[in-house]
Structure 1
Amino acid sequence: MVWLTLASSLAILSSHRLIAALLLLVSIGLAFFAHIINWQVILLLTFIVIIGGIHFYFKHNLILKISSEIMLIGCAVGLFIHLFPGFNNTKYLDKVIVGPQSSPFSMYFNFDKALIPFILLACLPTLFSSRPTKTATWRQWGLLVIAVPILLLVAAFAGGLGFELHFPTWLPAFILCNLFFVSLAEEALFRGYLQQRLTLWLGSPYLALILSALLFGGLHFAGGPLLILFATLSGVIYGLAWMWSGKLWLAVSFHFGLNLVHLLFFTYPVKMFIG
């Protein structure tokens, strides 16, 4: 119930913000009584609300606006890297092996990462929808769609993945978790906020695209150089989807689509090496 309520609030955040906020409050209450979060998180959320209020009501004061936004972004990044105590994120899968060639895989429902879009929306009202910084032809869009399976095929031929069909019983849970608590959270941070802000600051949408993709790839350092490379290339795909449309949900769709194709048709998360 906690996760369905939280996912519902995220699903309508771009169009019905008041209802989304009410659903978020309900999910926070449910999570507290289910011991998914504790009083430390309540204090953190109270602090975030206060800073968000300062950012909104004193937006004409440049010093307060900038300083409050920096604090909000610091909170968002802290939630992204699971820095703050008090979150007992639900481990839904514990070292399952989806196929004979796949390595063990664990999946968490992360309450902390799910809060990121709410914080970033307070910083940047155009998080979900902004004016496209570049236009693209239908042919370019077609190539971008094709780039998703091509990237996975290249990863397979490079040896990082293998070909393997899956249809696990926990697929609905994966869809819910990956769409709302992984893809949306990551795209909100790297494309909706970072790439959009860099585009405004640098005046170059392509430089903003490359920098955000490099940072996105760099945060996958734990998986080694090959994963960093492919995460960076996938970041370029997601960044182009955002740049050409101005729609965060479209970038999320590309991100989630790649993850879903990966799970269904390739070793997940990577190919198991037996030596």
Structure 2
Amino acid sequence: MWGVLSASLFFLPFNRFIAWILLAAATGMGLYHHILTPLSLACLVPIAVAVWLHHQCRKQRAVALILEILLVACSLALFSHLIPGFNNPLMVEQEKIGPLSAPYSLYYNFDKALVPFLLFACLPTLFNAGKADKPVATRAWVILVLCVPALLLLAVALGGLKIELHMPPWILAFMMANLFFVSLAEEALFRGYLQQRIRQWLGAYPALIITALLFGAAHFAGGMLMVAFATLAGVIYGLAWMWSGRLWVPVLFHFGLNLTHLLFFTYPLYQHP
């Protein structure tokens, strides 16, 4: 089921028909395995109707705007696990993957994986907003890539992380979940939708800063050091999106940072012995 759901997200920017067929199949499998319940289905049906109405009414600006606001609100609710009836399975429970690492739990989140579908219905340029006005030098891209390990090493210098190598047995499960159900969902919301919409109103760099701050604030539960770390990471992801115009570029930056964090540093945080 999770492979089918991942495939639906993979096909979403290339072939929406195949993506929605795969999503329907994953939904059926989810109901069969009780990951989705009749309650969650009852919540998803009106959301699906709103997606259809938004497509039908896209030329009626006032109606389309109201429906877009509704779908964004639903996206935020799914993102925050506020819609009831989802039994997201726990794949890793409070495991310490190293002596210095804090306990870690891994969920497969069906509700969060739906976010790109709703936002793509609101904004057809979610995955491809066009290239930057000015070409970006290869050197700038190299520096941006190097900022990923530099940010993790900065967290080490500040005491939030320690260098600690891992290769947990659930690494493949982590990679699929983190790529499709975490990185893609978060980048669709923060870069693909919010940064793109704010850029239309305020310009590129205000959108970059505001979105990075919102991304940092979304990590408030992890403490102020996590907020600062996530804000700086949001700047990296935001630049990757701004320079490329392609959502999959910041998704890969996001996934690359998370995977590097898992493999080479205490994960998710350093825990004092």
TM-score under structure 1 normalisation?
0.97
For residues 179-235 of structure 1, give each alpha carbon's deviation from its aligned partner in whole angstroms, at most 9, with x where no partner exists.
000000000000000000111122x10000000100000011111110000000000
Residue matched to 2:268: 269
SS of residue in 1 equivalent to 2:31: helix
Question: Matched residues, percent identical?
Answer: 52
8 Å CA contact 1:133–1:205 kept in 2: the answer is: no
Deviation at 1:178, TM superposition (A): 0.3
Residue matched to 2:151: 151
8 Å CA contact 1:213–1:232 kept in 2: the answer is: yes
8 Å CA contact 1:99–1:267 kept in 2: the answer is: yes
Q: Please say if 1:8 is aligned against 2:7.
A: yes
What is the distance in 1 between the residues matched to 2:165 and 2:59?
55
Structure 1 runs, 4 residues or longer, greater than 2 Å off: 132-135
Alignment of 1:123-272 (within 5 A): 123-134=122-133, 135-202=135-202, 204-272=203-271
For residues 48-80 of structure 1, give each alpha carbon's deviation from its aligned partner in whole angstroms, at most 9, with x where no partner exists.
111112211111222211100000000000001
SS of residue in 2 equivalent to 1:87: coil
Deviation at 1:46, TM superposition (A): 1.1
How many residues of Structure 1 are paired with residues of Structure 2 in the alignment?
272
What is the distance in 2 between the residues matched to 1:46 and 1:133?
38
For residues 121-155 of structure 1, give each alpha carbon's deviation from its aligned partner in whole angstroms, at most 9, with x where no partner exists.
00001111111345421111010000000000000
CA RMSD of aligned residues (A): 0.8
For residues 105-127 of structure 1, give each alpha carbon's deviation from its aligned partner in whole angstroms, at most 9, with x where no partner exists.
00000000000000000000111
Residue matched to 1:49: 48
- In structure 2, the gaps of 5 or more residues are none
Residue matched to 1:58: 57
SS of residue in 1 equivalent to 2:239: helix
What is the distance in 1 between the residues matched to 2:74 and 2:232?
27
- In structure 1, the gaps of 5 or more residues are none
